[in-house]
């Protein structure tokens, strides 16, 4: 049965977003919104779409999970040899986008990405479930495989390799930190006249806040 996609429409009216309510730091404000999404039991509140650029200039986007947020930036972890890892090696700028639909909110964070320290990567890796640790060794992320059986075979090899012992952090796996120079916060409003407020970093490491037309 054909669905009329043009008829699917939600008029957002939950809340407004005013300059006077914002923290001077976008990272503090983003942390506030993230905590509110968690408190609202939003599904996958830390999920963010990470956009990078391929060597051919094509946009590339995928969903990753935020694993750290402080005044230094946003942290996520992945295989350094994956598509996104190779893309970030060539072009170190990226954009992360959160969409908390239950709160009618979106946040876009744009800036420079660099690897976190090896100590940070190893500390986070130790906190992961054992099966996830094994998966990091078993998966050659983004590489074409012959089928699901090849992945299961690699996982079995990893289990045999490490047995019941400690699983070290793979050298090809670790974290990235996105240091923003622009952060846009979006709050849905009626009639598609949404509130859009953008932080832009200035030379003295402070931020300007501007309202954008919806």
Q: Name the residues annotated as catalytic.
A: 192
The DSSP code for 204 is T
Rg (CA), the chain: 20
The DSSP code for 169 is P
User: Coil, helix or strand for 54?
Assistant: coil
* CA–CA distance, 181 with 26 (Å, rounded to integer): 10
**What secondary structure does DSSP assign to 103-146, as a single string?**
GTEEEEEEEEEEEPPHHHHHHHHHHS-HHHHHHHHH--TT---S
Q: What are phi and psi of 28, to 5 degrees?
A: -65, -45
Q: Cβ of 109: how many Cβ atoms within 10 Å?
A: 27
Q: What count of Cα atoms within 13 Å lies in the side-chain half-sphere of residue 161?
A: 13
Q: Which of 58, 73, 65, 162 is nearest to 116 (CA)?
A: 73
* CA–CA distance, 106 with 75 (Å, rounded to integer): 18
Instruction: State the residue for tokens 């846009």.
Output: 184
């Amino acid at each position: 049965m054909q669905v009329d996609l043009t008829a699917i429409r939600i008029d957002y009216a939950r809340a407004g977003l005013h300059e006077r309510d914002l923290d001077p730091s976008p990272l503090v404000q983003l942390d506030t919104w993230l905590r509110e999404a968690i408190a609202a039991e939003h599904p996958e509140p830390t999920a963010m779409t990470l956009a990078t650029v391929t060597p051919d200039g094509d946009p590339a986007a995928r969903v990753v999970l935020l694993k750290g947020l402080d005044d230094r930036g946003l942290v996520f972890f992945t295989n350094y040899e994956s598509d996104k890892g190779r893309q970030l090696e060539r072009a170190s700028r990226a954009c992360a986008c959160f969409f908390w639909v239950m709160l009618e909110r979106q946040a876009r964070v744009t800036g420079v990405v660099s690897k976190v320290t090896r100590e940070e990567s190893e500390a986070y890796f130790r906190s992961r479930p054992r099966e996830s640790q094994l998966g990091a060794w078993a998966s050659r992320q983004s590489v074409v495989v012959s089928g699901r059986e090849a992945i299961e075979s690699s996982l079995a090899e990893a289990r045999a390799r490490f047995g019941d012992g400690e699983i070290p952090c793979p050298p090809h796996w670790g974290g990235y930190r996105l240091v923003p120079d622009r952060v846009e916060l979006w709050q849905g409003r009626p009639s598609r006249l949404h509130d859009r407020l953008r932080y832009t970093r200035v030379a003295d490491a402070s931020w300007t806040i501007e309202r954008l037309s919806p």
